[in-house]
Structures are given as C-alpha cells and as structure tokens.
Amino acid sequence: MSRTGKIISWVVGILLLLIVVIVVVIATFDWNRLKPTINQKVSTELNRPFAIRGDLGVDWARNPQEPGWRRWIPWPQLHAEDIMLGNPPDIPDVTMVHLQRVDATLAPLSLLHKELFIPWIKLQRPDARLIQTADKKNNWTFNLANSDSKDQNAPPSAWSFRLDNILFDQGQIRYRDAINHADVTVQVNPLGKPVPYAQIAGGDDKQQGAGDFVFGWQANGTYNEEKLSGQGKIGGMLSLRSQNTPFPVQADLRNGTTRVQVTGGIQDPMNLGGLNVRLRFSGDTLANLYGLTGVLLPDTPPYETDGHLIAKFNGEKGAVYRYEKFNGHIGDSDIHGSLIYSQGKPRPRLTGELTSDQLRMADLGPLIGVDSGKGSGKTAQAKARRGEKSSQPTDRVLPHDQFDTKNWDVMDADVKFSGKRIEHSNSLPLSDLYTHLQLKNGDLLLDPLRFGMAGGNLNSTIRLEGDRSPMRGRADIHVRKLQLRRLFPNVQAMQNSLGQLNGDASFTGTGNSVADLLATSNGQLKLLMNDGVISRSLMEIAGLNVGNYVVGKLFGDDQVRINCAATDIKLQNGLATPNLFVFDTENAVINVTGNANFATERMDLSVNPESKGVRIITLRSPLYVRGTFKNPDAGVKAGPLLARGAAAVALGTVVGPAAALLALISPSDNEDNQCSTVLQQMKQQK
C-alpha cells in the first residue's frame, strides 16, 4: 500500500472510530447530568420555575417507515419524567402544569434543512391549572426574559418547527377565575379510535370536510356562581394544524338554567382563521348570556333558538360573528332572523333584522319594566338567583321595576324588528309591529315604534338616555283612527258605532322606572273620541269600579251615546291637570276638572254634569273622584247645588284647547266626525 493510501486509511479509520465513540458516549451518557442546566435555562427564559424532577434519557431506534437508506438512520426518542412548570410570583399556587412523563421522537435529518420536526409527542397524566386573580393577573401570559430587548426589526428565524401529533392517556385542566367567579375542571380523554364528523353532526350539517373527532371531554364546576357542566368532543393534532381541514368541535354546556349546544368546525385554528358551527341555546332569560358571551341582551321570558354561527377573526380589527337564519321562541312568541356581532372600538356592535309571526305582548314586558305574564315565574326565579328583588310597592299601580342601564354602554346596537300578529288579549288584537332599535353609548332610541291596533295605528318615538343618572326619557306618541267597535269588541252597543279615537302625547321625565319617569314628567296629552257609548256595563268590562259608580249616578243603568269626548291634559312635574276634559252626550255635557299626581299616585277630580234642554240627569250636586290610583273613591260632593249652565260657562274658557284638538280630526273625516261640530261650537264661545 502506498503512503497516500495508508494516510487515507488512517483518516477514515479515525473518523469511524470517532463516530463509534460519539455513538457510544451518546448511548451511554447519563442525560440526568443535564437536568440542572436545562432547568435553570428554561426557568430563566420563562421567568417562572421549571424542573424535570424524574429521569431524563434518550433512546435510539430506526424508523422503518422511512424510504431507502434513511430507514437505517437511528432516531432519538427522548423521555422525561415528573415535569413541573410553576406560576409567576404574583399567583398564589405553586404549580401551573404537571406531567407524569413525556415521550417524544425527533427526526434527525430534518435538522439539515433547519426544521425541528417532532412526529409525535406522548403525555402521561397532563394536569394544567389556569388561574386569574381578582386584579386581572393570570398565569397563562408569559413574560419571556429579554423579550423587550430583542430587535423588533430583526429578520425572522430561518428555523421552523413542526409537530404532527399529540397523544395522551388522560388529561385534566382546572380553570379558576376570581373575576368571573369560575371554578371549572375539564377532563380530556382519547376516544380510542377516531369518530367521523358526520356520525356526530349528522348528514344535514353545513360544515363540510371537517376532521375526525379524536378526544372527548367533560366539564364540571361553577361559572358566574352558577353550576356548570358539559361534555363534548374535539379533533386531533392533524386537523388542528391543517389550514384546509376544519378542526371539529362538539359541545353541550349547561350553566345554571342556560344550555348551549355547538357542533361544527374551526378553520385554520392555529391562525384563528374562522368558525363555522351550528349553535343552539336556551334558558330562562337572554340576559344570562352576557356572562358567557359578553353580548348584552335584554331580560326575557324563557327562550330557545337554533341557528348557524359563522365567525371571522380579523386580528386588530376584532372578530365578526354572524348568527344566521336562526329560528326559535321567546316565551310564547316565535322569533326568526340574522344578527351580526362585531368587535371593535370604541365598543362592540350588534346589528341585524328580526321577525316574529306571532308575538305575545307580555313577552316584551320585561323590556319596559312590567310583568311578563306566562313564564315570568322562571324569570323571577332567575332574578332571585342573581340577588335581584322586585321593587314594586304593594300600594302602587305604576311599574316600579328598574331599567338595568349599567351595561347599556358596553355595546352599541342597530336592530330592526317586525311582528306580524301581536297577541295582547283576546279582546284587543294588535298587528304589524315594527321598530328600529338603536343603542349608542348607553343612549337607547326606538324610532319608530309603531303597530296597528283596532283598525288604526300607533306611531311613536321613544328615547331613553341610559348614560345619565338618573336616566332621562322622552316619548312622542301619535294614535290615529282607532275604531271604537274594534277597540271594544265585547261591547255590543259599540258594534254599530262608526266612531274613532285619535290622540297625541309628548312628555319627558327622569328616573330608572316607568313610575319614576311619569312622576317627573312634563308634557301634554290630547285625546279625541267621537260617536261612542258609555254605560255601567262598559265600566264593568274595563274593570273601572269607580267609573261604574260615576256613570250610574249620571245616567242610571242606561247606555248613553257620546257625541264627542275630548281631553287636553298638561303634565308638569308629574302633575296632570286638564285644560279640557269634556264628554258631550245626547243628554248632557260632562265637564271634569281637578288633577292627578303621578308621583303620589293620587287624584282629586270633580265631575260636573249639565243637562241639555229638559233635565234628564237628576243629580243636582257635582261628583268627586279621590284617593289613590289603586284604591280610588267616588261620591257626591256636599255643598251648593249645581248652577244651571255651569258647564257651559266652564266651556267658555277652553277656546284654545278646543282649537288645538281640531287638528286631530282628518279633513276627510270632518263631515262624519261629531267632534268637529262640538269643538267648533266650543271654539266660538266667548
């Protein structure tokens, strides 16, 4: 052998010997010697304790699935036991994550092209504890060492990371949150074998191409101080890191009386690409969803709805959630439509359109602070669980339940609602409700709020300024062409009437309940009714016992035709004083004077009749109506007899109000409207 050949042989031999020595050293090296260094480096980098407290080792094995010569390359298989990751100093618990054992394999050849590729990692008994304190500090936000000093303009690393699969036998996550009053434990277990998405979701589900379900989970605990329980399934790592295969999710959660069911997929979950799920939820009141979703919804009777939720996550612009084509009910009212919830600055925003084929007016009661009727018992129980008590005094009639305005400024809204048929009572059907609700910076506007009633319509604008304390409200209401025979369908005598009711009302007030708003109200009310009847039986149907007494004193048991009833009432600081309150009947003119106080709910009215021609009314002294709204009292005033013509004299002082009320009569109704003649006569009196 030549000298050159000997040198080459020695070099190759030495290299092979070095490789053998390195392999032997690596194979026999006690990796536990590196634990102190690894623990210190990781603890320093994460700014929290980290420790591998058990055995640390590396085994070597070939991968027979590799092609050609690659299958002869041994792959390192790492294992570590008893691994602990601690919490930052301001979190009282010691441990955040504990792993009984971790096994992982590394593809060595991928390192040649700067990729750290881990085909699989196996976790034994993973146990994670997520904590948020009352001062909004949490343990899942990591403040990495020297992160602030890194050059933000530095080019990204040439190295990449890839993890194909995560396996574990049983996992546990405990979530404790002092802000949301939550303490929830979630158990996660492998299903044994993958379950196809269609087997769980059904063939009619709109989510196509979602991955298989791999893990199942169960949750128990409390959230918002209500019991929480749930179960469901999720996909595996393959669909979790896929940009094209939706990551499957299925959940059935119960929090107190609220139930939420979700089935669908998450697009590109590693980059929060989007959400496409079927969403069903139900409960005692929509208001309870605020704690779960952050979406401000009104207090309602029991509800249930089923629709399709599509979400797009737009980074700094915020997410957009579309709840499309949902169907459901609130109380006994059906509800359909689509809503869009957009996160953004300065506040999130809810927009959309809702419709109802049959709307029960009582189901809207909680929106205006009154009893919701059927189903309200459950709503009251829900309020009791939230520590809310009814503020309605036993001796008052006006609603004292408070508008809950404290959260009105957390969200803006622009929602249109239409109701085809409205169930108010068997005797008074309503129809064609339409309102445009706008909520901006705590200011609620209903413009318009209109519906059909008794053949006519009511058109109003309501503004509630919830950003003020106390709240300030304004209402402008216009009633036109309410037909008396349809307004009083149970009164036989009224069925032959061609009369109408027209009116305008406008008032402002301050307070957080209907009662408080009326108690401080300023404004005016004008009503005009023509061609009607009045009788004791009508008062009985209306439930007006005092009215029954007054009508009996004036007219006995007979039905009396009303040519025109007109009122013009001034409201000032909650005190209602009529400028004009008159009934022109076929037998007499009835003039009502006095006042009603909405703050004290007391009234003091005088009823002064004046017969036409031959005296038919035998009453020779005026009547009084006094007492409270809830317990009124009526009787005959003691004192001088009625002066003949007193009512006519009184009418001579109401030229201005009479002229104003003429505006309520449409020009097309002048010839048939009895009030037109009566008011013209009153206007001409001097």
Q: Distance between CA atoms of 40 and 282, rounded to whole angstroms?
A: 51
Q: Determine the pLDDT at residue 472.
A: 93
Cβ 474 vs Cβ 462: under 8 Å: yes
Token code pair at residue 45: 């980098």
Q: Per-residue DSSP letters for 159-191? A: -EEEE--EEES-EEEEEEETTTTEEEEEEEEEE
Q: Per-residue DSSP letters for 92-151? A: S-SEEEEEEEEEEE--GGGGGGTEEEES-EEEES-EEEEEE-TTS-BSSS---TTTTTS-
Q: Nearest to residue 469, comparing CAs of 403, 529, 417? A: 403
209-213, 260-264, 273-277, 545-549: which range is least confident on average? 545-549
Q: Determine the pLDDT at residue 524.
A: 93
Q: Determine the pLDDT at residue 101.
A: 93
Cβ 651 vs Cβ 592: under 8 Å: no
Q: Determine the pLDDT at residue 372.
A: 44
The more confidently predicted of residues 675 and 571 is: 571
Cβ 289 vs Cβ 258: under 8 Å: yes
pLDDT, tens digit, for every residue of 392-435?
A: 788 888 888 788 787 788 889 999 999 887 776 555 667 788 99
pLDDT, tens digit, for every residue of 4-25?
A: 666 666 666 666 656 555 555 5
Q: Distance between CA atoms of 468 and 443, rounded to whole angstroms?
A: 9
| Helix, strand and coil in the chain, % to nearest 5 | 25, 45, 30
Of the ranges 40-54, 375-389, 605-619, the best mean pLDDT one: 40-54
19-23, 139-143, 179-183, 213-217: which range is least confident on average? 19-23
Average pLDDT over residues 25-41: 80
Residue 2 has pLDDT above 90, yes or no: no
Token code pair at residue 673: 């409207």
pLDDT band of residue 651 (cuts 50, 70, 90) is very low
Q: Distance between CA atoms of 84 and 89, rounded to whole angstroms?
A: 15
pLDDT, tens digit, for every residue of 324-364?
A: 999 998 888 898 999 999 988 888 899 999 998 888 777 76
Cβ 466 vs Cβ 444: under 8 Å: yes
Residue 654 has pLDDT above 90, yes or no: no
% residues pLDDT > 90 (the chain): 23
Alpha helix ranges (H) inside 421-510: 484-487
Q: Taking the complete model, does pTM exceed 0.85, yes or no?
A: no
Phi then psi for 99, rounded to 5 degrees?
-120, 125
Residue 211 has pLDDT above 60, yes or no: yes
Q: Nearest to residue 301, comparing CAs of 230, 373, 242? A: 373
Q: Determine the pLDDT at residue 96.
A: 92
Q: Nearest to residue 250, comparing CAs of 285, 199, 193, 312? A: 199
Q: Distance between CA atoms of 388 and 88, rounded to whole angstroms?
A: 38
Q: Determine the pLDDT at residue 427.
A: 57
Q: Mean pLDDT score of the chain, rounded to an integer? A: 79
pLDDT band of residue 373 (cuts 50, 70, 90) is very low
Amino acid at 445: L
128-137, 188-197, 531-540: which range is least confident on average? 531-540
Q: Determine the pLDDT at residue 521.
A: 94
Long-range contacts from 92-95, C-beta under 8 angstroms, 24+ separation = 93/129, 93/131, 93/139, 94/49, 95/129
